[in-house]
Amino acid sequence: MQVEFQLIERARGGDDAAFNLIIQAYRKRILGTIARLIGRPEDVEDVGQEVFVRLYYSLDQLRTPEVFEPWLYRLTVNAAYDYLRRQRRRNESRMSDLSEQQVSMADALAGGRKSDEEQHRTRVRELVESLLRGVSEDDRILLTLKEVEGLSLKELERIYNVNENALKVRLFRARQRVLKVFESEHKAQAAGPVSGKAK
């Protein structure tokens, strides 16, 4: 726990100063999680602010301060999930506006200004992003929490309110689906650069 139970109790009682301290204690961590869940740095702060607004209005539903962190994670997951669903709907109409050539030109321009280290990070980010785009929001969030954020099964159990076995099954299936996307992207890349963009 990054804050004391007393502080959470005070915030639950309507103490705005206590809630401010909670924001300061958790904002960086929550923003990091959101950044990796949604993969769009420009929208991270908006989603993060939404998480804390939801937290403010749902603090009275918190049974005990002991479950505060899983509660905060659940709110984060829900906000990220809502964002990804909105984004998916928006992307379906927006992606057709850019031609293949425009996309590759923009990539080349962006890549030209970066150092090798940054380029490597960008490549990893793009690769993982494209893999995660190929699966559902549920799979994406579950895998990110487990594999990227490093949450334990116990922690995930408390966030998702399901037992360990059910989680293991869901994780296994999500991993299988990502691997399938990974393999199909490999095949597409091997076939040629133009068809590589097909996914």
Partner 1 sequence: MDELQKLFCAYREAIPDPEPSADFTPGVWRGIDARRSSARLFRRFAQVFVAFAAVLTVLMGVVVLPYLQRAPVYRATYIDVLAEEHASEETAALADGIQQPDFANEAVTQ
User: Interface residues with partner 1 (CB under 8 A)?
Assistant: 20, 23-24, 27-29, 31-32, 35-36, 39, 41, 44-45, 48-50, 52-53, 56-57, 121-122, 124-125, 127-128, 131, 143, 147-150, 175, 178-179, 182
Cβ atoms 51, 26 nearer than 8 A: no
User: Which CB atom, from 49 or from 87, has the smaller least distance to partner 1?
Assistant: 49
User: Which CB atom, from 98 or from 179, has the smaller least distance to partner 1?
Assistant: 179
CB of 158 to partner 1, least distance (A): 21
CB of 120 to partner 1, least distance (A): 8
User: Which CB atom, from 41 or from 192, has the smaller least distance to partner 1?
Assistant: 41
Alpha-carbon gap, residue 8 to 22, rounded angstroms:
8
CB of 198 to partner 1, least distance (A): 21
CB of 56 to partner 1, least distance (A): 5
User: Which CB atom, from 146 or from 160, has the smaller least distance to partner 1?
Assistant: 146
Query: Max Cα separation, the chain?
Result: 61
**Residue from 50, 56, 74 nearest 16 by CA:** 56
Place of tokens 């579950």: 142
DSSP letter for each residue of 6-59: HHHHHHHTT-HHHHHHHHHHHHHHHHHHHHHHH--GGGHHHHHHHHHHHHHHHG
